[in-house]
Structure 1
Amino acid sequence: THFAVASTIGIWLYDAYTYKAAALFTGYTSVSEIYAIVFSPDGKTLASASWDGSVRLWDVYTRQLRFTLTGYENNINDLVFSPDSKTLAMAHAEEILLWDIGTGQQHAVLSGHTGIVKAIAFVPDSGRLVSAGSDRTIRTWDVLTGQHKSVGGVKLNSYWDAVFSPDGKTLAIDHANSQRIELWETETGQFLRTFKTAESVDVLAFSPDGRTLAYSSGTWQDYLIELWNVQTGELLTTFAEHTSFVAALAFLPDGKTLISASWNDTIKVWHAETGECRVTLRGHLGWVGVVAFSPDAKTLASGSSLHRIQLWDMDSQRYKTTLEAYAFQVWGLTFSPDGQTLVSGSMEEVLIWGAHTGELHARYQDWFGAIAFSPDGETFASGKSLGMIGLWDAHTIHDHAILQNRAILDEYHDGFNSLIFSPDGKTLAGAGTQGSISLWDVSTAKLKIVMSGHEEPVSTLAFSPDGKTLASGGWDDRIRLWDTETNMLRQTLSGHTEGVTSVAFSSDSYTLASGGGDGTVRLWDVQTGENHTIFNGHNAYEVNSVAFSPDGKTLASGGGDGTALLWKTQSEVPEDVNSDGSINIGDLAFVAARLGQVGEGDAADVNADGVVNVLDLVAVAGAVE
């Protein structure tokens, strides 16, 4: 019901329905940049990370800061909640830290990467977490045991950023300055496809269903957001209204709306399918580095270069509150799955906030970089120091006195940009600065696998909601999709012309959203790898973050132009299943590729009967222009 945008004055929380600012999370003591924010699956907690090395957990409903995790010598590269909202996973240096957000205790540290953990994600219903690191590997982790393995023994090319699909089975990797995004399967390590981009990718984000990948890219003249079909590699939509660097991207849970944030103090809300800009939100007073939706899509959180977190009510599109507590830029935000806690991270500390109250509950100065909650909300992961990732009891992170460490991951010997739990919470994934992706077994705190494929550091990771795909984005402008069962790279997505900064899956796992340095947000078909949509709206500024709303209908992006934009990711014409603005053979191919798919929210299910079948083909055929 919310999405979050990190800005220069805090994390803005937006209502996902009205796009009105619901709250602004502040509490930062001095200048800081919020660079990562994430909602817990249940929408009760928002986590943020900033350049000061701290991670904050906020209560979305009370707007209070619950915990502040500080003391990190390196940045928290990724934050992700476990599927049950009880754990926050943080990618820090070469480790993944798991925190119990109920106790505020770090309960595990997943170690195994030999490079910085760039991105992490939980794989739903598997007890695993996947990670991507700068050691160019993808690793799978048993969340309970901490055991890990390198996925398929592959070596990713060096990358800038990486992001897993919501289900954790596909990794999208952005290769810095090489105008391409690679997609990898996290289970097998199979390379899926490459998306070529006109400029370097700035931000990557999968749609909630993992079918669309959005990314941003741009130059000083042109700032674009593109949406790609992850499966086909088709470019779905291009948005080009931003006049500044797009720093963040995020889909609303329904996958139909995309939010982008840029450096010119602007957040834009886009129709992800048509590319129509629904609304422009302003007031961040600095570039937006990260955006995140609460699990119920009612709140948008944003972190910015001016060390504040703003919370916005998505129904009223009104600002709620500002969280101020950082000494550096807030660049990490994550909600706990239950939506009660917001964690923010910066260069030197992690703060825990009440997502609803905005109250600052705790500050941890020895945590920094990437942060993440496990899907069940039981574990919180964060970087703790160089070469370590802490896993904490998420129930204890609100109080220093009761904080419990579940595990320390110390097998990672390089910095990382992102941490994410697999949807089932069993695996923590980290994106490393050397182009690798590491996956840790959360239960054993052991490194399972290191995947390589990116040519530059991996900057962002995202698991697809169905857990089948891990997407990684890197500095090499590529997004890679990984099969989480085989840990093999499934495909590489290319389209961004500058480094991919953020990736996010749609709720149905079919769309991946990405954001990049080229100022564009792109939607990708996860199955085909097609970049079917490009959103432009951050005025050519870097897109720092992308996030889908829980229903996959909205994508949020945060950019260097100081804005967080909301994009609608699904067409209002049912037969225009690929949302390209026309009904043609491409739509028929889109439906044909999904025949037999069961479940609600699939764009190919034209008659909305819960299954994609010949009736849907007939409906589209009858509407072909």
Structure 2
Amino acid sequence: MKTDFKFSNLLGTVYSQGNLLFNPEGTHLYSPVGNRVTVFDLVNNKSYTLPFAHRTNISRIGLTPQGNLLLTIDQDGQAILTNVHRRISIYNFSFKSAVTALSFSPSGRYFAVALGRKIEVWHVPSTPDTNAEGELEFAPFVKYHTHTGHYDDVRHLEWSSDSRFFLSTSKDLTARIWSLVPEDGFIPTVLSGHRQAVVGAYFSKDQEAIYTVSKDGAVFEWKYVGPKRKEDDMEEDDDEDDESKLRWRIVNKHYFMQNNAHVKCAAYHADSNLLVAGFSNGIFGLYEMPDFNQIHTLSISQNDIDFVTVNKSGEWLAFGASKLGQLLVWEWQSESYILKQQGHFDSINSLVYAPDGQRIITTSDDGKIKVWDIESGFCIVTFTEHTSGVTACEFAKKGSVLFTSSLDGSIRAWDLIRYRNFRTFTAPTRLSWSCMAVDPSGEVVAAGSLDSFDIHIWSVQTGQLLDQLAGHEGPVSSLAFAPNGSLLVSGSWDRTARIWSVFDRTQTSEPLQLQADVLDIAVRPDSTQIAISTLDGQLSFWSLSDAEQVAGLDGRRDASGGRKIGDRRTAANVSGTKSYNSIQYSTDGSCLLAAGNSKYICLYSVTTMVLLKKFTVSVNLSLSGTQEFLNSKRLTEAGPDAELDTQGDASDREDRLDKSLPGSKRGDPSARRNMAEVRVSGVGFSPAGTAFCAASTEGLLIYSLDNNLQFDPFDLNIEITPEATLSVLENEKDYLKALVMAFRLNEAGLITRVFQAVPYQDIALVVEDMPTVYVPKLLRFVAAQTEQSPHIEFCLLWIKALVDKHGAWLTANRGKVDVELRVVARAVTRMRDEIRRLADENSYMVDYLLGQVTTKATQTKGALGDATGDQKLLTNEKDLGMADLMQEDEVEEDWIGLE
């Protein structure tokens, strides 16, 4: 089995904090998710996570106007410059303090960052398409200017359209105008008059007006005018005095009316004069400036809207709410959602792959069950019927039926075709279910509880409780059916695991004695072995038929790692992280995946009992338990810095209010005082064995084998020219090599010539040896030829060969070649319809012509019926014969023409 799994995507988290960005075309949305960045393709309905990771949570991201460079800055001021198209990090840099605002100039040559009260302007690193020499700079980040003057943290930066000036807003109740280069007659200007912190400041399209928005809902319009003059003083003022008195003044004042809510964020689209404001009560408003006409208001969240942005065309508005992890894209003209995603509010408890491997189901303490599409990365459905935390989920081996157990005392069965709950199982007494297992046939479901020591078994068909299995002397922590359906294995905190013959008359159980409490049980796919994880960090392997231990390994050293903020011991000696809460066998049964309350996921070989690989879940220092050694810089006399409650020192009144419930850590929607701890609550292998996913604190991490970079033997050869391709085609008669060379050159005329030169007898052989990297290209080309070329049967032979020879690959990669398959299906359908229509027209035309011949012959015989004499009759018969022959010739000519 291959073990070179690499991080490929992050699901379950769509927005954490910071700002959102649209790309210049307005089709992609960049969202910070913890210490990573996820890109949402709004046109193709897909999402992917960039591979780099910061050491702390990302606070600000910026994109160049060309859309080729992405600058991400975390809470400590560490910046990573990324090539967006290649998805690789180019340069690391430190601003040495927290960054509160970031903005690129429209010219793409400068960017401004706010470091507390200070503003710095930097040169944008040059790229080969902008640098005259065509080479990257040695030191990409070069400081250009430093501006000071604000008395509190700067919250927003905005450039003018010509990149000559930029605005800054601060919590000191002012906005300021700065120039990039010294301008004649210009001095930095202070715009004061607001009574609370200024959220945003924006230039109008003609740059004749400035709009400032403050936290208390005031919108001021500023213009460069003189003072208001009285009628008596108009004649006395001179022109020189007027010029000396010109300055930026408030000409209009507007106010948002949202009761007690305050403005959290704002955005302005200059081309369409649209102002968008997000409020603390989850409502956003859309207004037309400068008249301040209200266009639309909508409630989209239950909590604060943290950030809003508008795409370049002004059609789509993107909103981020961090408290509930919501991300929305709203098209205001049609009043419809382009994107509406929300992750789990609480920690994920368990996960399972769908039998087809295209979906992942996650359950959480928030009582929700979410279905994630792996190819697109989006949540496609959310079930909310459970009223408490959902602890386990499992699929029936046949069909699309999902079973879930919850702390609300119910086991529910879900139909994932119609997306509905069709069966609910409950016990005679109120119990909170902690584990669950489903018979492979899908006819029996079993559940265990921490309150009762019995195992309850229900019939799926009738919903009735069939039996209660007694024998454990402690809470039941894990259940698993053998894949062959004959046995049920249970684990308990009484330090035993039991094997039950559920379907036998005796229902006997075979106890397996262990050294510590059982945490999880996994059954090998061939039903010959079980793996048991215990609280002391041991993994023991037992023969299912003989009920004897066959092997064991100590996983404490492998699992330990990461020191929590409040730990007084080193990471190697800390307790609570040296065991595995979740284990699972690989599809072929050769490996075992194990994870627990540490930052490591371990992959073991079952045959040799050797650790094959360790995967680090996260390097995010914003989580507790990711660092091996505590930083003395973060230690104070009162204890670790992260454990100190600084809420009362916040400058804003609403941030100082403590709305949390006393002692509440989970299920409370208010702010946490404790740092989240890194842990993995569930792992699962995909049915194909090419990927596995892990439910962690940051979300649903997917690790997969790198199948994207398939080896192409022609990548190493630079002597591929049209002449060489034609030589291979005509002289060597190597049709496969010529076709691949034509695809490498990507010239339509050359590809068509090589394609049509392949003999129809050799089509199957050429397709069979075609590298899979070229199969999508060949599919799309054959589909285009089917619609354009007159060689119908020739194209159908190519399609048949592709489906026959590469059917398994096409099925496994259905998501990647879905577009090509749809194009082929459309081409074949169109060809079938055209042939049917042509055949119908030909048959109708033949019937019509034959009918015309019969009609004319009848009319001719009637006209000659009165004639007498053999000679005259003979003559007419000859003429009639000639006429019939002429008619038949005409019919034959028409038929040939139709063909």
Q: TM-score, normalised by structure 2?
A: 0.32
Higher RCO (CA < 8 A, seq sep 6+): 1
From the two aligned structures, give the one with the greater strand fraction.
1
Q: TM-score, normalised by structure 1?
A: 0.45
